[in-house]
Amino acid sequence: MQIENDRYPNPQKQGNFGGCLLTIIMLFLFLGFFPLFNYPSKTEVPYSQFRNQVREGKVGKVIVEENKVEYFLKTDLNKTKKTKSGKFIPPDKAYVTVPLPKDQTLPKLLEDNKVEFGVRPDGGRNWIFTAFGWFIPPFLIFLIVVWFTNRVQSGGGAANPLNAGKSKARVYFGQTDGKVTFADVAGIDEAKAELQEIIDFLKNPDRYTQLGAKIPKGVLLVGPPGTGKTLLAKAVAGEAEVPFINVSGSEFMEMFVGVGAARVRDLFEQAKQLSPCIVFIDELDALGKSRGGSGVFASSNEEREQTLDQMLTQMDGFEANAGIIIIAATNRPEILDKALLRPGRFDRQVVVDRPDKLGRLAVLQVHTQAIKLEENIDLSVIAGRTPGFAGADLANLVNEAALLAARNHREAVTLADFNEALERVVAGLEKKSRILNQVEKKIVAYHECGHAIVGALMSGQVEKISIVPRGVGALGYTLQLPEEDRFLMLESEVRGRITTLLGGRSAEEVVFGQVSTGASDDIQKATDLAEQAVTMYGMSQNLGPIALEKAQSSFLDGSPNSRRPVSSVVAAAIDREVREMIHNAHQQAILILKANRDLLEEMAEYLLEQEVLEGDVLYSYLNRVQAP
């Protein structure tokens, strides 16, 4: 089979499939259309002529087929040499003829004339046709499939369609891939305690199975981004010394219905092979969104439903004590399908919240282990200045500080580096390139001093004023850092905050008699806060403690809430209350600034010169602020 061997594509040489395919097709057509190639060349003769030639003794060898007779003349046969093995080699020239149907006289005629005759064993068809008939078409189809697959892969970057149903999970084996343990997770002790049981089970399953106790199959970690949910799950695997299979909920979602479900199946197959193990599904909400929600694309909804169904089926499918524990993470537990939270599925929920001050100190300690710190540095100062920071934010802060120290060619990271890093994180990068003209600078200086003076009176925690532009929008900023974590805000504090926010604009009014565009962000924030006070916290006397807004996720700050259906009368009342709250705050800010007009001038002048006002100088100014 020489020809086939030559043409067989080398699977490694993927680039040539197209060309190869073409050649094969050409060859195929060529062979099909040109019977001449079907050697040896055959001449067709009438049957009567054949019989005459036999009688004349010219015919040397006859091959009888079903409805055709092929024969060679003695003269031609004499020209070919026999091979050593005595195998018959047909001469170049052959003749064919079509016998009369059921001609019984032919054998006798041949025998009488002593002609060698027989039947061709393989049905008489040229092997090359048999080969092409049976072998080439499936081969061609195979080639086409491979070629297209190839094109899809190299072209759009889309995944190989033959692999679509494979899960994209990444597997970590703690021993080889860098072990994460509970020592690497800090500041979320309650969550750690809750997961201790899981580790114990994975380590000593017998103790539990003996008693007939069932370990939860699924644990849901709930908390804001960056609080260490992934880290925690990995640490559980590390502590229990089992493999860690990591996959994100969004990786199950594809355009085609059924692909996600296939991936879920594949994931669980993988888990069964690796058990005991931890399967970690990040962003569970991506696939576990409650069903029947509004969806623009029907198909994407259907895909999600199928994927979710498959997930539920698979979770129900394995034994409680099979050694597979699924840990999922989400920051939006309220949108999860209720079916996911039923017993036997994710029935255990662990809250992973942002750390408190001690927790933050612990996280800082973990992340500064590999960093050269200045001696006697007090990390608790930084912990105190970073309320609301999640573990990931703190890790980022430490890295920023280290980068700053390195840039300044310092031997070790100092507290000043941390403070600078903190400002960067809070207010964005310092933008030296944006140069304010003198008028702008003056406006910004008075604006910021206005915030500071009002803020000092309202809450007393101004840290720093700067008119060095930072970030995308801020031309100047007044840094207020709380001393401690706050979980509640008194009504007076809410009002004070609104007043402080309006302090900047009020200063512009008091000093210049007109306002600039620089206060838009303040106004936005003040209005949001006032609206929340009225519609969520019931701080309006007239409307009272009625919830006018539907509370949403407590973990995603900044997500817009939706108004409850209210009558137009109530809507008008809300607007009036909000406006009144803002108006009052504005009036109060103006009063305060008028009462401290001289101080405002002094501070602004200093700020214009120095650009930054902080520390003792700032406090000496702010101590002089008087209530109106």
Binding residues vs Zn ion (CB under 5 A):
504, 522
Among 69, 186, 456, 593, binds ligand ADP (CB under 6 A): 186
Using CA atoms, how far apart are residues 413 and 591, in angstroms rounded to an integer?
A: 45
Token digits for 358?
């001690």
For residue 70, which of 49, 50, 92, 48 has the smallest C-alpha distance?
A: 50
366 binds, among ligand ADP, Zn ion, none (CB under 5 to 8 A by kind): ligand ADP
Shortest CA distance to 522 belongs to which of 544, 545, 505, 542?
505
Give the residue, chosen from 169, 188, 286, 449, that forms a contact with ligand ADP under the rule CB under 6 A: 188
Q: Which amino acid is present at 400?
A: E
- CA angle 479/480/483 to nearest 5° reads 135
CA 334 to chain centre: 21
Task: State yes or no: residue 529 binds ligand ADP (CB under 6 A).
Answer: no
Which of 289, 367 has the CB closer to ligand ADP? 367
Q: Report the residue from 77, 94, 115, 185 that binds ligand ADP according to the rule CB under 6 A.
A: 185
| Nearest residue to 154 (alpha-carbon basis) of 10, 14, 13, 251 | 14
- Which residue out of 194, 303, 423, 448 is catalytically annotated? 448
Give the SS3 label for residue 119: strand
Give the shortest CB-185-to-ligand ADP separation in angstroms: 5
| Site map 288..327 versus ligand ADP, x via CB under 6 A | ----------------------------------------
End-to-end C-alpha distance for the chain, whole angstroms: 105
The correct pick among 391, 450, 469, 476 for binding ligand ADP (CB under 6 A) is 391
Burial 146-174 (b: 16+ CB within 10 A, else e): ebebeeebeeeeeeeeeebbbbebeebeb
Compose the 209-238 pattern: x for residues touching ligand ADP by CB under 6 A, - for all others. ----------------xxxxxxx-------
Q: Which residues contact residue 68 at a Cβ distance below 8 angstroms, ignoring those fewer than 6 apart?
A: 96, 97, 98, 99, 124
Question: Nearest approach, Cβ of 378 to Zn ion (angstroms)?
Answer: 32
In whole angstroms, the minimum distance from the beta carbon of 217 to ligand ADP comes to 21
Of the two residues 517 and 620, which places its CB atom closer to Zn ion in the complex? 517
- The nearer residue to ligand ADP, 347 or 356, going by C-beta atoms, is 356
Give the one entry of ligand ADP, Zn ion, none that residue 249 binds, where binding means its C-beta sits below a cut-off of 5 to 8 angstroms depending on kind: none
User: For the purposes of burial, counting CB atoms within 10 Å of the CB of 217, is it exposed (0-12), middle (13-18) or buried (19 or more)?
Assistant: buried
Residue nearest to ligand ADP (CB): 391
With CA atoms as reference, report the closest residue to 353 among 363, 343, 345, 344. 363
- What's the DSSP call for residue 170? E
For ligand ADP, the binding residues in 360-379 under the rule CB under 6 A are: 363, 366
The entry of Zn ion, ligand ADP, none that residue 504 binds, CB within 5 to 8 Å by partner kind = Zn ion
Site size toward ligand ADP (CB under 6 A) is 17
Helix (H, G, I), strand (E, B) or coil at 256: coil
Min CB(332)–ligand ADP separation in Å: 13
Q: Indicate the residue among 9 and 187 with the shorter CB distance to ligand ADP.
A: 187
CA 199 to CA 72: how far, in whole Å?
A: 87
Q: Quick one: 182 or 318, whose CB is closer to ligand ADP?
A: 182
Q: Which x/- pattern over 392-411 shows residues binding ligand ADP (rule: CB under 6 A)? A: x--x----------------
> How near is the Cβ of 428 to ligand ADP at its closest, in Å?
21
Q: Which does 444 bind (CB under 5 to 8 A by kind): Zn ion, ligand ADP, none?
A: none
Minimum CB–partner distance for residue 373 and ligand ADP (Å): 17
Closer CB to ligand ADP, residue 174 or residue 450?
174
| Token duo for residue 328 | 């999922």
Write down the number of H helices and E strands in the chain.
Answer: 22, 16
Instruction: Give the nearest distance from C-beta 180 to ligand ADP in angstroms.
Output: 9
Backbone angles phi, psi at 24, to 5 degrees: -60, -45
Residue for token pair 């209005």: 527
448 is catalytic: yes
Residue 478: CB minimum distance to Zn ion, A: 7
Q: Which is nearer to ligand ADP, 62 or 329 (CB)?
A: 329
Give 191 or 443: the residue with its C-beta nearer to ligand ADP: 191
For residue 522, the partner it binds in ligand ADP, Zn ion, none, with Cβ less than 5 to 8 A by kind, is Zn ion
Number of Cβ atoms within 10 Å of the Cβ of 57: 11
Q: Give the C-alpha separation, 496 to 589, whole Å.
A: 9
Cβ proximity to Zn ion: between 509 and 522 the closer is 522
Buried b / exposed e over 534-543, threshold 16 CB at 10 Å, is bbeeebbeeb
- Return residues touching ligand ADP (CB under 6 A): 185-188, 225-231, 329, 363, 366, 391-392, 395
**Which residue numbers are catalytic?**
448
